[in-house]
Structure 1
Amino acid sequence: MDLATPPPDLYGRPGPDRFLRRLTAFSDWYTPILGAPGLRRSPRRRAPRPAAPLTLAVTSRTMVSADVVELGLADPAAGPLPPWQPGARLLLTLPSGRERHYSLCGDPADRYGYRIAVRRIADGAGGSVEIHDQLHPGARLTVRRPRNGFAFCAEPAVLFLAGGIGVTPLLPMAREAERLGLDWRLVHAGRTAEALPYTAQLRALGPDRVELWADDRRGGPPDGAELLSRAPEGAAVYCCGPAPMLAAVQRALDASPARALHFERFGAAPIVDGRPFTLRLGAEGPELAVPADRSALDVARELRPDLPYSCHQGFCGTCKVNLLSGTPEHRDRRLTPEERAGGALLPCVSRAAEGETLVLDV
């Protein structure tokens, strides 16, 4: 059919349909305004501006176990804070310039205060020690607004598995599960009873639903099958803890009553299909061998300990560097295709093919 000629009347009458004639005329006038191919084109929207970071003050400091401190954070002007959901994290910039992620462990309904809990790691990279030793009420921090990569879906039956400080994102989830009347259980495991934070709150929340597991009293840590045996039939499992705990749960999931697993790990995931390659720090800088089982970031920090990092998992972007040459294997979950094409690289997770050399602008 010739689209320039209005079709016959829709009801079979001999004359042309007046409505379709007007519609065709409107289309002939309107389409050139938009340009070919016509109505499919739409104006490009501007990318939203990133939200400005927050300046928060430390309002309280409480030891919630032998080596875990809880900090309360609030707007110095007493204004409301951005909302959040269980599982969300804050990215803190510490006075030293270090950036660290911490899970929110307070009440999402409290719009005037955030709470985080930090375990002191004496032989760590310094962030937890700085928080324990230097952050007291009145101190101010730059904080990125809450982000959530471990969202709680509120399935009807839920098992929460916490390893040590891994209870922090799970505590708000358990509160929400209790509020919603879900069938939930929680196992909190750690080396000693004294090292387990928030035991009193957990017991008060659900004394018949919470099990505390102290390795020194139970003859060692639980295995995955034992942990998952607490799951209601068809339950979703939310697990946060050290890598061995998560690996044990993953191995035992298929043979358990549970049917789904959501998890957040403490640190870097094990390297999968890693191959050795070479890293050069600067166009004329030294070359470093990156083994198959280590990250480029860890190797680079041996020579350049000032290189920033935070999550070690490829989602925060703190360690981002510019790639001068080489072909990378991007394994992050943050960079856009445009950023990668522009040379951005997250060395905490990204790698290269065997024998390849990546030259970083550091």
Structure 2
Amino acid sequence: MSRHRTAEPAPPPGAGTAPDLPDAAPPDLYGRQRGDRYLRFLSRFSSLYLPVVTRPGRPRQAPPRTAPPELLVAERRTVAEDVVSLRLTAPDGAALPRWQPGAHIDLLLPSGRRRQYSLCGDPADRSAYRIAVRRIPGGGGGSAEVHETLRTGSRITVAGPRNAFPFAAEPAVLLIAGGIGITPVLPMAREAARSGLDWRLVHCGRTRSSLPFGEELRALADRHPGRVEIRTDDTDGVPDAAALLGRAAAGAAVYCCGPAPMLDAVRAAFGASGAAALHFERFTAAPVTGGRPFELALRRSGTVLSVPADRTALDVLRDRDPATAYSCRQGFCGVCTVRVTAGTVEHRDGRLTEREKAAGLMRVCVSRAPEGERLELDL
């Protein structure tokens, strides 16, 4: 699944995940009108830790192990209408870095496009990564490029894995997937089954032939009767979000990945459900809403960058340096937090505390500056 991955998830997680953002971030990761102590802790930790580990002159630590920079397409299969799955291995056959359900990798395509796709294989299988890409006519071109250029034997530059949609393995979980949104959710279902959780999976789509991994899902359903449900619009009608949430056990956590209308409906119906937590990831990052052009000045290099009205500061920073740290692209995780040394920030994350804002912290994946102003970043 493709995203700008992202957890409301830029991909998938070819069309599938990588998050479309709401006009404003929800008050907490779970969609509840309540404080999230864990994320407040992460936010506070990142505000103290990141400036220390990135200060000039500090010895650089070895980065976490990621996949080799180039992987081999060991197998290509058609798994649904307009959906191909790719099995990627290290050229030398070495074991790949570990990953957890919800993780994704970036593909750096020959055209220069960078696209994120959910890992949808088995985390226990370190011999290969598997992704699935739905071809999107009239999309941004990434899915078409994957379908047209990546064949068995091709080599592809990758980055990651990273996880912006982590599976917390709560005792009771409801997994809801729409179409290609099954890619991050399928490993979650397998993990839930292995861990003995009280779980259910509902996979929704237009038709049976449009849903990827039908054979695997049927096998999972045979092993775990009553746990897997497949619904299609042509036989069951368009699903009702409240009815889907009604399948959750009292106090369950809900994990949902799919097209924007599905996620919007689930979020709207969630408050009236008996579930306790909502985790979600959208296919792609939404266009910037109400943006105005502004500038970034990088203090250490003196570089000045222009941020157009329809792009984020993170987009522009990554154009200059693809290694710029980020994860959720929604203002939740705090990985992209930087310190602003001059200028007025228009905060859009809904996570930073007033004290952190006063200290000059900014989450560049969503926050901006007023029109025509310049922010000086400690970069």
After TM superposition, the score normalised by the length of structure 2 is 0.66
Q: More displaced, 210-219 or 45-54?
A: 45-54
Structure 2 match to 1:219 = 237
Alignment partners' CA distance in 2, 1:154 and 1:119: 28
Task: Work out which of the residue numbers 200, 221, 228 in structure 2 matches 1:210.
Answer: 228
> For the structure 1 residues 53 and 107, does the alpha-carbon distance in structure 2 shift closer, same or farther, using more than 3 Å as the test?
closer
Residues 161, 186 of structure 1: 8 Å contact kept = yes
Structure 2 match to 1:26 = none
Alignment partners' CA distance in 2, 1:194 and 1:169: 19
Alignment partners' CA distance in 2, 1:226 and 1:142: 42
Within a 5 Å distance, the mapping from 1:81-100 to structure 2 comes to 81-100=96-115
Structure 2 match to 1:236 = 253
Highest CA radius of gyration, 1 or 2?
1
Q: CA deviation at 1:83?
A: 0.8
> For the structure 1 residues 92 and 343, does the alpha-carbon distance in structure 2 shift closer, same or farther, using more than 3 Å as the test?
farther
Residues 66, 161 of structure 2: 8 Å contact kept = no
> For the structure 1 residues 52 and 196, does the alpha-carbon distance in structure 2 shift closer, same or farther, using more than 3 Å as the test?
closer
Q: CA deviation at 1:326?
A: 6.1
Structure 1 match to 2:277 = 260
The one-character-per-residue Cα deviations of 1:43-73 (angstroms, maximum 9, x if unpaired) are x974423356512100000011001100000
Residues 82, 135 of structure 2: 8 Å contact kept = yes
Residues 326, 356 of structure 1: 8 Å contact kept = no
Within a 5 Å distance, the mapping from 1:89-238 to structure 2 comes to 89-207=104-222, 208-220=226-238, 222-238=239-255
> For the structure 1 residues 311 and 241, does the alpha-carbon distance in structure 2 shift closer, same or farther, using more than 3 Å as the test?
farther
Q: Percent identity, please.
A: 54
Alignment partners' CA distance in 2, 1:53 and 1:155: 28
Structure 2 match to 1:15 = none
> For the structure 1 residues 175 and 163, does the alpha-carbon distance in structure 2 shift closer, same or farther, using more than 3 Å as the test?
same
Structure 1 match to 2:75 = 60
Provide the alpha-carbon RMSD of the alignment: 4.3
User: Which blocks of at least 5 consecutive residues in structure 1 are unaligned?
Assistant: 1-43, 334-340
Residues 173, 255 of structure 2: 8 Å contact kept = yes
SS at match of 1:351: coil
Structure 2 match to 1:48 = 61
Alignment partners' CA distance in 2, 1:352 and 1:286: 11
Residues 280, 286 of structure 1: 8 Å contact kept = yes
Alignment partners' CA distance in 2, 1:181 and 1:153: 14
Q: CA deviation at 1:169?
A: 0.6
Q: Does 1:249 align with 2:256?
A: no
Structure 2 match to 1:9 = none
Residues 278, 358 of structure 1: 8 Å contact kept = no
